[in-house]
Structure 1
């Protein structure tokens, strides 16, 4: 039996202390609003009569801001399903409660900044979607849980969790002591879908669980590439699970930014070119080696599927990636480039089968995890596909879904759910579910990193690239452009505050250059005058045409100037990493 975290609780607030009482449980967590927290055994008359009450369903920790500490509580949850008999929930509501009884100890400027930090924390918590379980460690794959062994079930979920995927670990630092083990609730960020399915009369559970890493977390254009510790941007582990009768099976894939030092800062251009940092090649190789070794220690051998364009700016990244991997010469790594856009141009997405055929032998050698629910091991997954494009979103998810379908077919045949001759594609109802869930996975991971749903999901949902899908992608691309240029500085600051990486003493009110206000104002006036001169006169005179030419020139000149100084108009992060 896994360790169990208290779920439904009461928070009693007095002038001096917080009292957190599980509705079912023997412990009482007492937090002094000035000093420290303790856990004691519940007794009668411990809680003062003069108190206020907050009901909640999960203790997520506390966070230090300018005004002091704040309790972070889960106040609402949504049931997702069962994994291995354990309930899995989605976070549906949160509340931050200050330790300090007033804010008279900080000045007005600090008070304003503190309010912004609070909104940043809430901004991250409101980003879909966070998940948790009171009794099952969802930070680990089934294979890692098996390796931890049954004795790990006596540990708290926090102490044995894979901290790469625990998003509230910064909030729980002050509660890592074993005294708090029944209260501390780890949460993951990503996507979880759990489905009860029927194929050929067999009932089974099919689930997808994507876990986003907290290491090098950030927004699409402000977090790219690798850091010196070997952590890459947008690293996501996706586990596909099948539970049938007394057997659990799972197949794991990972995605992550190209493991080199490269950047792609927003500058108002629709697609600013990515570029490698001009540093010593040995530094690229050192960081990439660290990343490869970390992945190998976690997952075994790896096939690196690189889907970026092999020409232009992306082509420079692809060549550098290939050269670095070849220079490292790790025998457990195979680099597999596939120019997605070139191979599938003119909507020939059926050509993705070329890539799947190339890696089929690797997938067969990797296998997947399978064990009896009583603990007996049948097989281990011996390696992993590490897939990337530039964003590790749209192209990546398409290929991952195809690899997942191939693995799922093998799983269902081994479990005798499918006959030897059958395929997943022939199971019309189930295949529609499979496609829909993988498209949802794409959308959620994309929203969390780029701010919009994924592109190319029409192929994932229907198996075809459609003109309607192209139009939807165009709309998402425009929204993505706006958010990445004008909103992501705040989002990046929010993530850094959430993970305890930001220096809260950094100024939030960065002064803008005079061009920031002047040129957009001039552009709006010039555009308004140009439209007015174009539509109002019933017939054009030479004077009116000259006015039209003048204001049109002003629009063109102002627009060109704004793009020339593009980086100055972008919403950048203001907080320095601590």
Structure 2
């Protein structure tokens, strides 16, 4: 049964938008007044014959910009697969429709501002990874959904959704206040979902990977680090691995999130800006809030901190360790593993050291398991919270290894693997598994850093390769450019580009004499070096910073 209307048509007139529910046996129509912005339920007979009609896949919500209100709709979707017999969709295209019939009421400044805001919204909507279902609550894990009341089950998807993961929650605020229209409002998550139907030993099962990105403290890589005053961590992602076999269900959940105190790493044109810990703020208050909420949501916490234990990352590791000691509640344990040092010289087999180190705790935490009768056989009692600097590349590698170990136990318990069999021996499934986790890494990395993930050659193949190193270098270069020059709306300082270009041209097109050529080269070369020096010295002034971001006291 659909909890949100699945088949919709948008009818547009000069006065109203009519969103018609076309599900079988339904007569509901959502009428949106383009003048008063009022929203109400009406009937199909009220749709004027003159209305312009087109199919849509869902309503993302509404937003007020300089020109007035806009309706944002999903215009295309792609089926990802079936999750526990529920259709899961990826939203692939959107439309932003103005309530106003004209923008003649705006002056030039307002026109430009409105255009900028629209381009920002389009940019966000253009980032791959928006998913929804009209009949399944994608915002909750299997374990959370199993531990609910009958009243919860009667709620609409919008009412019962975990607000951390509803990326259009703000856009749906007008809908939230009117329960009678909730069936037109579909919560959308951002992250990654992949669903595979697999077979091992003649046993068929669905293997699913879901990453839910938190919409709290969202933002681009270098501009959003650490936590906010509410304890929300930057780039917080909940990743759930699900196995569904003959009615039995198993789930293993992990989280990742930025180091949870107040620190920053603002771009300044250097390849790797030095992290800054804000000494003026009370770190323990936000740190405590973060882990209090994590313990409520997930139970015991095991932190796996993968940052370097020397150089610029060292103070972050030391502070994190010290603050965990300060909690002293027994619910949070801390493991530091210097990923780059341990795995230097391509010794990635040494990751097994960390896996073995936490193996006993992982067995103690267990995983969520339900039999075909719906009886809960096991619950996950705690969670691994992994992080590196970005919580992308190193983090994803470790999460895939821990999930692999849990999956081994789950498939044996569900009767898919025989006693003594290893997942590694199932070549076809092992390839599916590794590629899915590598794709998960790429999706999370593109959403936060603007490029695919690093180290995915190891995730895909189990080996570190020379080609992988080359691709990591290329992605790192693209990240540098994006994080410094395209996370906002400004272009690379043009003077330096012109000066450097002229220097090259003078070298290629010699003058009448060598002294003339040398003079030109020296002039433009000096201009290039001088400009570059000024830019690097005043790096923060030349970085293309995102707009509409509250400046934090972290510089």
Residue 148 of structure 2 is aligned to residue 148 of structure 1: yes
Give unmatched runs, 5+ long, in structure 2. Answer: none
Residue 67 of structure 2 is aligned to residue 94 of structure 1: no
Stretch of structure 1 that moved more, 286-295 or 6-15: 6-15
Deviation at 1:251, TM superposition (A): 0.3
Q: Give the structure-2-normalised TM-score.
A: 0.95
Q: Do 1:27 and 1:39's aligned partners in 2 also have CA atoms closer than 8 Å?
A: no
2:184, 2:443 → 1: CA distance?
Answer: 28
Tell me which of 523, 545, 550 is aligned to 1:572.
545
Report what 1:500 is aligned to: none
The alignment partner of 2:105 has SS state of coil
Report what 2:119 is aligned to: 119
Report what 2:529 is aligned to: 556
1:525, 1:34 → 2: CA distance?
Answer: 50
Report what 2:299 is aligned to: 300
2:262, 2:300 → 1: CA distance?
Answer: 23
The alignment partner of 2:221 has SS state of coil
2:182, 2:444 → 1: CA distance?
Answer: 30
Residue 413 of structure 2 is aligned to residue 414 of structure 1: yes
Report what 2:236 is aligned to: 235
Report what 1:206 is aligned to: 207
Kindly provide the CA deviation profile for residues 396-444 of structure 1, in whole angstroms up to 9, marking residues without a partner as x. Answer: 0000000010010010011111112111111100001100000000000
Q: Do 2:232 and 2:290's aligned partners in 1 also have CA atoms closer than 8 Å?
A: yes
Deviation at 1:482, TM superposition (A): 0.6
CA 525–415 in structure 1, closer or farther in 2 if over 3 Å, else same: closer
2:58, 2:225 → 1: CA distance?
Answer: 33
Structure of higher RCO (CA pairs closer than 8 Å, 6+ residues apart): 1
Deviation at 1:111, TM superposition (A): 1.6
The alignment partner of 1:221 has SS state of helix
Report what 1:495 is aligned to: none
User: What RMSD, in angstroms, separates the aligned Cα atoms of the two structures?
Assistant: 2.0
Stretch of structure 1 that moved more, 310-319 or 53-62: 53-62
Stretch of structure 1 that moved more, 304-313 or 103-112: 103-112
Deviation at 1:540, TM superposition (A): 8.4
1:151, 1:374 → 2: CA distance?
Answer: 22
Q: Do 1:367 and 1:382's aligned partners in 2 also have CA atoms closer than 8 Å?
A: yes
Deviation at 1:77, TM superposition (A): 0.6
Residue 501 of structure 2 is aligned to residue 528 of structure 1: yes
Deviation at 1:528, TM superposition (A): 3.5
Deviation at 1:536, TM superposition (A): 4.5
Deviation at 1:166, TM superposition (A): 0.3
The alignment partner of 1:152 has SS state of helix
2:149, 2:84 → 1: CA distance?
Answer: 15
- Counterparts in 2 of 1:438-517, with a 5 A limit? 438-490=437-489
Kindly provide the CA deviation profile for residues 4-51 of structure 1, in whole angstroms up to 9, marking residues without a partner as x. Answer: 21112111112221111111222111111122444435253x122222
Stretch of structure 1 that moved more, 9-18 or 463-472: 9-18
2:276, 2:376 → 1: CA distance?
Answer: 46
Residue 157 of structure 2 is aligned to residue 184 of structure 1: no
Q: Do 1:275 and 1:313's aligned partners in 2 also have CA atoms closer than 8 Å?
A: no
Stretch of structure 1 that moved more, 15-24 or 296-305: 15-24
Residue 168 of structure 2 is aligned to residue 168 of structure 1: yes
Deviation at 1:125, TM superposition (A): 1.0
Give unmatched runs, 5+ long, in structure 1. Answer: 491-509
Deviation at 1:375, TM superposition (A): 2.8
Report what 2:261 is aligned to: 260
- Counterparts in 2 of 1:3-402, with a 5 A limit? 4-24=3-23, 25-40=26-41, 42=43, 44=45, 46-176=46-176, 177-280=178-281, 283-402=282-401
Deviation at 1:106, TM superposition (A): 2.2
CA 543–67 in structure 1, closer or farther in 2 if over 3 Å, else same: closer
The alignment partner of 1:279 has SS state of coil
1:572, 1:38 → 2: CA distance?
Answer: 37
Report what 1:424 is aligned to: 423
Q: Do 2:41 and 2:181's aligned partners in 1 also have CA atoms closer than 8 Å?
A: no
1:153, 1:363 → 2: CA distance?
Answer: 31
Q: Give the structure-1-normalised TM-score.
A: 0.91
1:189, 1:533 → 2: CA distance?
Answer: 50
2:406, 2:271 → 1: CA distance?
Answer: 37
CA 60–553 in structure 1, closer or farther in 2 if over 3 Å, else same: closer
Stretch of structure 1 that moved more, 3-12 or 89-98: 3-12
Q: Do 2:28 and 2:44's aligned partners in 1 also have CA atoms closer than 8 Å?
A: no
Report what 1:506 is aligned to: none
CA 413–570 in structure 1, closer or farther in 2 if over 3 Å, else same: same
Deviation at 1:576, TM superposition (A): 5.0
Q: Do 1:208 and 1:240's aligned partners in 2 also have CA atoms closer than 8 Å?
A: yes
CA 416–108 in structure 1, closer or farther in 2 if over 3 Å, else same: same
Deviation at 1:376, TM superposition (A): 1.6
Kindly provide the CA deviation profile for residues 353-380 of structure 1, in whole angstroms up to 9, marking residues without a partner as x. Answer: 0000110011001100011354321111
The alignment partner of 1:407 has SS state of helix
Kindly provide the CA deviation profile for residues 431-467 of structure 1, in whole angstroms up to 9, marking residues without a partner as x. Answer: 0110000000000000000000000000000101101
The alignment partner of 1:182 has SS state of helix
How many residue pairs match? The answer is: 548
Deviation at 1:313, TM superposition (A): 1.4
Report what 1:497 is aligned to: none
2:17, 2:226 → 1: CA distance?
Answer: 43
Deviation at 1:60, TM superposition (A): 1.6
